Amino acid sequence: MKWIWKTLKVLGIIILCVLVLLTTIGVIISEDLPEGKEGAKADELAKEILKELNYDAYKNTKVISWTFAGMHSYEWHKDENYVLVKSGDEVVRLNLKDYDSSQIISPKVMDDKIRQQHIQRAIKNFNNDSFWLIAPYKLMDDEVERRVVNTEGKEALLITYTSGGTTPGDSYLWIVDENYRPKAFKMWVSIIPIGGVTAKWKDWVKTQSDMILSTEKSIFGLPISITNLETSN
């Protein structure tokens, strides 16, 4: 028994050291949320980004379908305010106007508590996975604060979500190219303890409805792929 306790003690010390090391690294590389200036200049930068991505096409698109990171699939009927959320054998028809009116298509669920669990999981997945698809189109939404930030001699757009979604209060610094197409953003979000983590947005395509969407993101070099992408008017 003594060797077991000794082994557990050593493992505990190792785990503690790793946690301390990771925390130290996080503190060292973490960036403070930059300050920026609200107003017409920030709004103009946001509008230039929307123009580059054909915002009118996004508004006129009725259905968007995609698979996120090979895990969850969506068929979003924007014009009818519902989305089919598919994850494995689970299929939820999520009512975006009234979550309580959502339907569990698969599996068959009788218990209301379990039904709510399915719905809440679908809401969380859709909020996250749709953000990684259409976030640039939401720059001028009412619940968004916009600020211009000078970074590396260029203007970037700092976005803070004041409400809506799953984690209001999160901030993103959009970095764009000379045509105002997003190249990446830096994140200050509640689920990541390190501030300023960069996510690259690349492999932009024009869809069937003329939207311009990024089909590949990467964080710490790890890819996040958007596949089976289709849009229609």
For the chain, how many structural domains are there in total?
2
Same domain, yes or no, for 24 and 88?
no
CA-CA-CA-CA torsion for 219, 159, 77, 100, nearest 10 degrees? 100
Percent of the chain clearing pLDDT 90 (strictly above): 80
Same domain, yes or no, for 126 and 222?
yes
Same domain, yes or no, for 169 and 210?
yes
Q: Tens of pLDDT along 126-168?
A: 999 999 999 999 999 999 999 999 988 899 999 999 976 656 7
Tell me the two tokens of residue 140. 């001028």
Q: Tens of pLDDT along 203-223?
A: 999 999 999 999 999 999 999
Whether the upstream peptide bond of residue 136 has omega within 30° of 0, thus cis, is no
- 3-state DSSP assignment of residue 215: strand
Quote the CA–CA distance of 216 and 213 in Å, as a whole number: 9
Structural domain boundaries, residue 15: 1-30
Domain membership of residue 35 (yes or no) is no
Same domain, yes or no, for 14 and 95?
no
pTM for the structure as a whole: 0.84
Q: Tens of pLDDT along 19-71?
A: 333 333 444 569 999 999 999 999 999 999 999 999 999 999 999 999 999 99
